[in-house]
Amino acid sequence: MTSPSDQNHETQRAGESTPPGEHRHTTVHGLAVLLWTVLFGLGLTTAVDAMGLKYVQGVIWPTDLHTYGLRPPSGDLDVAVLGSSRASFGLTPAVMDACLEGRLDRPTRTVNLARVFGTGHTMRPIYRDLLHVDPPKVLLLAVAPEALDDTNPKMASSITGTASVSDIPRELAEARELGEGLAALRPVVRGAETLAFFLAGRHTEEARLQWIMNHHGGGQWCDGSEACDHQNDDLSRVMGRRWEEAVRTVLSSVRLQHFGEYVAGEGRVHEAMLDVIDEARADGAQVAIVVMPLHEAFAVEIPEAVRKSFAAALDRLAEEHNVPVYRPDVRRWAGDKRSWIDPDHLARSASLDLSRAVCRDVVHPLLTGEPVRASRKLRPSRQRLRRAEPR
């Protein structure tokens, strides 16, 4: 009977008898398979993006970028909004259009292309992918402190959701930690995932979002039809549950998870936002920044140093790059729980107020060549918007 030690000696002798060329051949073959797999993944992602499927995803939230990308360029886009989910809840295209049409005496078209966890880094690819070919007359960059944070803890998610094959070298060079480095390589596999979602039809299951994008310009709230009323009612029913969830999982960790480290006014997020501003202006658009409000329960958790750094970064953007910054005075409902669906997302009534104020104080002046008005206290909206036909 052969002992274990004898078997080990036999295995070693067999390995020693293998010609060195066989080892090299196996290594080269393995590397070749890996290389071809990577090239296939990159080629598939490039093809998927070229077919306009880049923004097909398993969960289409907070807005349907894919549906917007299917629209042919029309040259009639008046306003586009870029930002995070706060912008999706806070700036409602249907409300802004009703306001603008009454002031300009012509039909207008506004779209909200906000994306969850959106920062300046996220805005750059979305502008290039979806707005550069059909630029708006006015581009609104809706921001809060996280949107300018170069150390945003959700940076890996931003890279994963928006990076293209051509972005890999830059994202790898700028990665701050392993998660961001892995996210930079996501285009290697994203094409296969996107194609699978597309073939499975997952993106068509959220018909509500497609309908809102096609007929009301995106965003979470809409106005002007009975269908919108039903949509708003359905969303409003989850307010209590969202508040409870936010108190349990968000408010208790805001300082650590959102602002454990904070850098604004420099770095890749800052440079990306400058790129958006420069490219939009080169395309003929006027650019303004809107500071999104936060409920006082959330705002009080933001460290004072972060608030000062955020304000200073906005002041530099305004002064050095001639970008108007609009800070709405929302003290009337900053602490009113009924005006919020959770501590950092506006409910329908407050969104209507804010959208009309931005129309009145920012967008309308920019479209008519007037200076943007200073921020002022929002007035409550008492008059129901007129019924609007789908655009």
Q: What is the pLDDT of residues 306-317, one digit of tens each?
A: 999 999 999 999
pLDDT at 12 over 70: no
Domain ranges of the chain: 57-155+202-368
pLDDT of residue 336: 85
* 225-263 exposure pattern, b = at least 16 Cβ within 10 A, e = fewer: beebeebbeebeeebeebbeebeeebbeebeeebbeebe
pLDDT of residue 247: 76
- Residues 78 and 108: beta-carbon distance below 8 Å: yes
Task: Say how far apart CA 37 and CA 47 lie, in whole Å.
Answer: 15
Name the architecture of domain 57-155+202-368.
Answer: 3-Layer(aba) Sandwich (3.40)
How far lies 91's CA from each of 1, 36, 53, 355, 384, in Å? 80, 46, 26, 5, 17
Percent of the chain with pLDDT over 90: 50
Q: Which of 159, 128, 171 is closest to 279 using CA atoms?
A: 128
Mean pLDDT of the chain: 85
pLDDT of residue 384: 40
Q: What is the pLDDT of residues 320-363, one digit of tens each?
A: 999 999 999 888 788 888 888 888 899 998 999 999 999 999 99
Which tokens hold the place of 128? 């290039």
CA torsion, ordered 356, 357, 361, 362, to nearest 10 deg: -70
Q: What is the pLDDT of residues 235-271, one digit of tens each?
A: 888 777 777 887 777 777 777 667 878 999 999 999 9
Q: Which of 268, 286, 281, 316 is closest to 170 using CA atoms?
A: 268
pLDDT of residue 130: 95
> Please, what is the end-to-end C-alpha distance for the chain in angstroms?
85
Q: Which residue has the tokens 């390589």?
A: 185
pLDDT at 27 over 80: no
Q: What is the pLDDT of residues 116-130, one digit of tens each?
A: 888 999 999 999 999
Average pLDDT over residues 293-308: 90
Which tokens hold the place of 385? 């918007």
pLDDT of residue 244: 80
Task: Say how far apart CA 383 and CA 239 lie, in whole Å.
Answer: 24
Q: What is the pTM of this model?
A: 0.86
pLDDT of residue 24: 72
Please name the helix (run of DSSP H) or strand (run of DSSP E) that holds residue 65, with its range, or none. helix 65-69
Cβ contacts of residue 231 below 8 Å, gap of 6+?
Answer: 208, 212, 221, 222
Angle at 142 between CA 152 and CA 87, to 5 degrees: 90
